[in-house]
Amino acid sequence: MSISGMAPDPWQSALLRTDASRMLLLCSRQSGKSTTAAALALRVALMEPRSPILILSPTNRQSSELFRKILEGYRALGRPVPAIGETRHQLQLANGSRILSLPGTEKTVRCYSGVALLIIDEAARVDDALYRAVRPMLAVSQGRLIALSTPFGKRGWFHDAWHSAEIWQRLRITADECPRITAAFLAEERRALGDRWYRQEYLCSFEDVIDAVFAYADIQAALRDDVQPLFMGQ
């Protein structure tokens, strides 16, 4: 990641070298998660020939911005593997690898298969339907899935996966662990945003959804496994 003009943080270095098949990264705003995702995609494409790599984001704008970082890194490295195709959303290399950056729309991604690496950026804002549509892409290839996000309330597949017993490698990076974010700035943000938004954006806290009728903790407390439902499905 030194090509981006900054030395990688320890967690970024570890991520770029990991071979974990399933990872969840819960990251503060401005911690460098998108830059890390771009560097990881580029590393796999360059060093692992014939690797299809998909990067998903909630919107086309976010997808385009992330792919721009990939192209900047590729050019900064001096194009070590020649490109045989380069567009605003796809980089195809002479070693058979290709990187595609797609918006978060379930209908547009079902055609892809054999994916070596699937990166979901801002995963907490990616719809459950999209998440369920992309997982089968890894079935035959046994590819890797890495999801990075700042929290977005106590909802959605990313929140559920983070708190589940499923086998994920989990990593949490708060703003006070990022050397590029000063204590003075964080103090100003706490005053400006208020505690709830500050905890979510910088301390990686899953907060109750603002328009929820009941608090998440109250709903969980009301659930019991020892009570049979009144009406059982036939």
Backbone angles phi, psi at 230, to 5 degrees: -65, -40
Residue extents of the structural domains in the chain: 2-222
Work out whether the CA dihedral 157, 161, 163, 169 comes out positive or negative.
negative
Per DSSP, 9 falls in state P
Confidence at residue 3, expressed as pLDDT on a 0 to 100 scale: 52
pLDDT above 90 for 103: no
Q: Is 88 a residue whose pLDDT tops 50?
A: yes
At 167-176, the pLDDT tens digits run: 999 999 999 9
pLDDT at 83: 96
On whether the CB atoms of residues 37 and 57 are closer than 8 A, the answer is no
Q: What pTM did the predictor assign?
A: 0.83
**One-letter identity of residue 102:** L
72 pLDDT higher than 90: yes
pLDDT, mean of residues 11-36: 90
Q: How confident is the model at residue 108 (pLDDT cuts 50, 70, 90)?
A: low
- For the domain made up of 2-222, the CATH class stated in words is alpha beta
**Percent helix, percent strand, percent coil in the chain, to nearest 5:** 40, 20, 40
**Cα gap 167→107, rounded to integer Å:** 28
CA distance 173 to 72: 25
* CB-facing half-sphere around the CA of 199: CA atoms within 13 A: 8
| Percent of the chain scoring above 70 in pLDDT | 85
Q: What is the pLDDT of residues 109-138, one digit of tens each?
A: 777 788 999 999 999 999 999 899 899 999
What is the phi/psi pair of residue 32, to 5°? 100, 20
Q: Give the pLDDT score at 61.
A: 83
Inter-axis angle of helices 195-203 and 183-193, to 10 degrees? Answer: 140
CB 172 within 8 A of CB 163: no
Most confident of 2-16, 128-142, 150-164: 150-164
Return the minimum-mean-pLDDT range out of 30-34, 55-59, 172-176, 224-228: 224-228
